Amino acid sequence: MQLSARELAALLNGVVEGDPEIQVSRPSKIEEGGVGTITFLGNPKYEEYAYTTTASVILVHHDFQPKKPVGATMIRVADVYSAIGVLLNNFGAAVNAPIGVSPQAVVHAGAQLGANVSVGAFSVVEEGAGIGENSYISSQVYIGKNVKIGRNALLYPGVRILHDCVIGDNCTIHANVVIGSDGFGFAPQPDGSYQKIAQVGIVLIEDNVEIGANTTIDRATMGATIIRKGVKLDNLIQIAHNVEIGENTVIAAQTGIAGSTKIGKSCRIGGQVGISGHLVIADGTQMQGQSGVTGSIKEPGKAISGFPAIGHTEYMRSFVVFRKLPDLAKRLDKLEKQTPPEERRAPD
């Protein structure tokens, strides 16, 4: 795909500063550039590259004031990162162009495919499954019995969606995601063994959800594990049975959420966070990376850190003291040596 700076500005609601007819055919990193590419300046730390980049076009914020001449044609936009999102979606559309149903795909006669659905080679669509219009199913995808997938879905290679699960409209599911695997349910027995508890529920994923590669979402024991609309999940996340994640919550990689926990709307959860089961997390909660959450959070908008997780400000104050402990121990030892033995005693 090749577009002029003028066409890009129209697409991104931006203003061109430079040559409006210069052509670009692909995006690039600002430090790498290249003739015929478009890059962006979203972080002030990279400003020096704006003056040296060999890219043909650079996206900048409306208020950007260059300190040196910029060789590239600039497109000024209100929000650089949102503009990049639109841009990459348009460049990516050509890569994910529909191919139709591959002769190597296996689509059961009892499955229903909407208009313009594509199914890649060696993918399987089981009986009773339904796929909405304009959805793109890559190669080696498995869609189980009675699975329902909405419109404009994009499933990357290796995705597995097991029986009876429901996926909404405009969802993107990256490579090797497993949706609807059994929840981790076992009953301890008197002899020390464990009896498996059948997991008969489903996974329900609402509209506009994106799920990163190798993430696993377990089906409910009964009822549904629910991912509400607008949720964004990173790679390598484990979501256990009967969890509910509120709309527009974002979760970074390697986070694990134990069974039956309810997470509110618009939460931000950092990488490698561990969340215990049967908790309730208030709307807008922010969890710093590697936090260990063992209790419910009732105050909306609270930021927490550490293990066990406490308020982020409280954690940072405690950490300052923690770093000083070796020095404090030496000072305490010195004071004890200066104190006569008869005056030393343990605190009450």
- The encoded tokens of residue 269 equal 């959860």
Q: Can you tell me which residue has the tokens 């997780």?
A: 309
The range of the structural domain enclosing residue 87 comes to: 3-95
Q: Does residue 80 sit in the same domain as residue 143?
A: no
Q: Does residue 178 sit in the same domain as residue 289?
A: yes
Global pTM value: 0.78
Residue 90 has pLDDT above 80, yes or no: no
Average pLDDT over residues 68-74: 96
Q: Does residue 26 sit in the same domain as residue 132?
A: no
Distances (CA, A) of 36 to 3, 47, 326: 10, 20, 57
Amino acid identity, position 185: G
How many structural domains compose the chain? 2
Q: Does residue 252 sit in the same domain as residue 166?
A: yes
State how far the Cα of 157 lies from the Cα of 143, in Å rounded to an integer.
12
At 291 the pLDDT is 94
- Which of 253, 188, 185, 249 minimizes the C-alpha distance to 219? 185
Q: Is 312 a catalytic residue?
A: no
Residue 94 has pLDDT above 70, yes or no: no
Q: Does residue 28 sit in the same domain as residue 117?
A: no
Q: In this predicted model, what pLDDT tens digit does every residue of 192-226 receive, in sequence order?
A: 999 999 999 999 999 999 999 999 999 999 999 99
State how far the Cα of 227 lies from the Cα of 257, in Å rounded to an integer.
13
State how far the Cα of 299 lies from the Cα of 294, in Å rounded to an integer.
15
Q: Does residue 123 sit in the same domain as residue 253?
A: yes
Instruction: Note whether residue 316 is domain-resident.
Output: no
Q: In this predicted model, what pLDDT tens digit does every residue of 240-288 receive, in sequence order?
A: 999 999 999 999 999 999 999 999 999 999 999 999 999 999 999 999 9
Q: Does residue 64 sit in the same domain as residue 38?
A: yes
At 334 the pLDDT is 82
Residue 324 has pLDDT above 50, yes or no: yes
Q: Does residue 8 sit in the same domain as residue 90?
A: yes
At 183 the pLDDT is 95
State how far the Cα of 238 lies from the Cα of 214, in Å rounded to an integer.
9
- Which of 282, 278, 272, 317 minimizes the C-alpha distance to 294? 278
Q: Does residue 304 sit in the same domain as residue 155?
A: yes
**CATH number, domain at 79?**
3.40.1390.10
Residue 93 has pLDDT above 70, yes or no: no
Q: Which of 62, 163, 174, 241 is catalytic?
A: 241
Q: Can you tell me which residue has the tokens 């879905």?
A: 153
Q: Does residue 185 sit in the same domain as residue 301?
A: yes
- Which of 273, 245, 274 minimizes the C-alpha distance to 261? 245
Instruction: Note whether residue 300 is domain-resident.
Output: yes
The average confidence (pLDDT) of the chain is 93
**CATH number, domain at 255?**
2.160.10.10
Q: Does residue 112 sit in the same domain as residue 191?
A: yes
Instruction: Note whether residue 175 is domain-resident.
Output: yes
